[in-house]
Amino acid sequence: MELIFSDFSSIEGSCCYCSEEAGNEIRTLISPLPLKAVHYIGTGDFHYQTLFWLERVTGPFSLLLLDNHPDDQPGAFGEKLLSCGSWVREAKKLPLLQNFTWLRRASDYSASALTDAFPLYISVDLDVLSPEFARTDWDQGDMSLTELNGILSDVAARFSRGDEGKGIMGVDICGGISEEKGGREADMELNRATLLDLAGIFRNC
């Protein structure tokens, strides 16, 4: 899968909370892009974009989320305003979503608990990692890059061995810190190295 960078941070009403107008504009902008790719969708403030990719899935599927936060909180300004902290709540309403797995720590991972009965979509927030391996603008977990690599490599290998049509249908990665929020060049370099490392796992998927 190729790595595709998408930056929609300049769209009004898109940071942390996504207005209906902004959401429709982003949906239009991603419509020509392939679902089967590794999409870097910006900092964690834009994690709600995962929902827009999931809306494009046309058959039953499973979702694996690796994130220091569950992202399934009620909207702070009502159910109709999508946010980076509520998108999972909306994703669970999608009729084609059959299974959802959230991993916060490496110890949460159990290969036997992750069904391969359906194609899998994977969403990763870099804030699941210790600050040693990524710098984000949200509180971070304690997972090491080796642990995250190990989980994703195991999942990639397992699903690549599955029946045709039951592999990994797409991946998105978010996380980081913008210059506006205090990000330094060293932070950007660290995050880019980590992103490329993770994306490489899915190169042959």
CA–CA gap between residue 57 and residue 55 (Å, rounded): 6
Say if residues 120 and 162 touch (Cβ distance below 8 Å): no
Residues 6+ apart with CB under 8 A from 67: 47, 102, 103, 104, 123, 124, 125, 127, 128
List the structure tokens of 29: 């902008």
Q: Which residue reads 């690599």 in tokens?
A: 149
For the chain, which residues make up each domain, given as ranges?
A: 3-200
Residue 78 in this model has a pLDDT that exceeds 70? no
For β-strands 97-103 and 120-125, DSSP reports them as unpaired
Q: Which residue reads 């709600």 in tokens?
A: 48
Say if residues 167 and 176 touch (Cβ distance below 8 Å): no
What pLDDT sits at residue 165? 64
If one counts every other C-beta atom within 10 angstroms of the C-beta of residue 13, the result is: 13
Q: How do residues 99-130 score in pLDDT, each as one tens digit?
A: 999 999 999 999 888 888 999 999 999 999 99
Domain 3-200 has what CATH class? alpha beta
Q: How do residues 16-48 score in pLDDT, each as one tens digit?
A: 999 999 999 999 999 999 999 999 999 999 999
